Structure 1
Amino acid sequence: MKNLSWNDLFVDASLLDFEALFSEWPGLIKEEVAPIGASVFGDLFYQNRSGAVFKLDVLEGGVSQIADTIQQFSELMNSGKWQEYHLLSEGVALLKQKGLERSPLQFFGFAPHPALAGKIDWSRVMPLDAVVWHSICAQSLGIR
């Protein structure tokens, strides 16, 4: 995983329209939140009013708490094991090695979605508009 930058792994919230992304997941986000950012595969990270950090998972569906505080989240982000599990860093390295790139307003998506294919197929990755990818994910997971 050498030669991966934070920009290779993570998209800052300032570059994304979180309201549009959340709108693809009706009923999942039920409180006011502060966006943090996203994995390059579209998983959304955000903080609730109590300070806990959550992840909206676009490959498996659902929301889970991943840290009690933003400080704990920052510490976790520096763990290679955490990066592989939550940011799919080994997959990002593979895509980078293959020369696949995305714009700041895109996520890497899978065609078909892993929920339909039954697995992640790294040969079927393509850059997709962030909102379009979220729409595909929510539909594939039966949420929309």
Structure 2
Amino acid sequence: MSITWNDLTVNIERLDKDGLISDWRWLVGDAAQPILLSSTGDAYLQERNGEIFLLSTGDGSYEKVADSYEDFRNKLRDTNLVNECFLAATVAQLKEEGFVLKPGMLYSFKKLPVLGGDYAAENFELMDIEVHFSITGQIHSQIKDIPAGEAIQLSAEWLE
């Protein structure tokens, strides 16, 4: 099955970009603005100085990926990098299994990798874009100070 750029990304034109990452401001600061969203729930944000960062909702990381928008566009010409960063094989499998993205939706984790989930197609489901970023931002905010490897006790309300 062929995969297009539209399969790997979601349209953010009609989204409230500030509101989209409001539950992530604790990590990304006040200046960062989304410029690109992957269909698997990650966000590329641009800082005031032009640098581009990847907000990974799976592991709660925020890492610089490019010095400028132009640098970022050049990196996106690398097919291997795009396949890896945008989980092209996973998106292809999801499409083959009938998970078709509709406007306002993306593929979100059933169980976050930071909580023991993985990046396999079986761990993704369709979810509203804003809900995905809100839930993942809140979870990561609440667990950010827990040492790696320490057990996490989830309350019943998280499971509802």
Same fold (TM over 0.5): yes
The alpha carbon displacement at 1:119 in A equals 2.3
Amino acid at match of 1:25: W
Q: Percent identity?
A: 29
| Cα distance change on mapping 1:53 and 1:113 into 2, 3 Å | same
2:149 matched residue in structure 1:
none
- More displaced stretch, 117-126 vs 98-107: 117-126
Q: Secondary structure at the match of 1:83?
A: helix
Q: Which runs of 4+ in 1 moved over 4 A?
A: none
Q: What TM-score, normalized to structure 2?
A: 0.78
Aligned-partner residue type, residue 28 of structure 1: L
Structure 2 spans left out of the alignment, 5+ residues: 143-160
2:106 maps to what in 1? 107
Pick which of 106-115 and 56-65 moved more. Answer: 106-115
Does structure 1 retain, via aligned residues, the 8 Å contact 2:59–2:112?
A: no
Contact 1:34 1:48 in 2 (8 A): yes
Distance in 2 (alpha carbons) for counterparts of 1:133 and 1:90: 21
- CA distance in 2 between counterparts of 1:78 and 1:94 reads 23
**SS at the partner of 1:102?**
coil
Q: Report the residue type matching 1:56 in the other structure.
A: L
CA distance in 2, matches of 1:138, 1:46: 15
Task: Kindly name which structure, 1 or 2, has the bigger radius of gyration based on alpha carbons.
Answer: 2
Structure-2 residue corresponding to 1:28: 27
Count residues in correspondence: 142
Conservation of the 8 A alpha-carbon contact between 2:17 and 2:34: yes
The answer for the alignment partner of 1:89 in structure 2 is 88
The match for 1:4 is 3
Q: What does residue 153 of structure 2 align with?
A: none
Shift of 1:118: 4.0
Return closer, same or farther for 1:53/1:41 CA change in 2, 3 Å cut-off. same
Question: After the TM superposition, which residues 122-133 of structure 1 pair with which residues of structure 2 at under 5 Å, given as runs?
Answer: 122-133=121-132
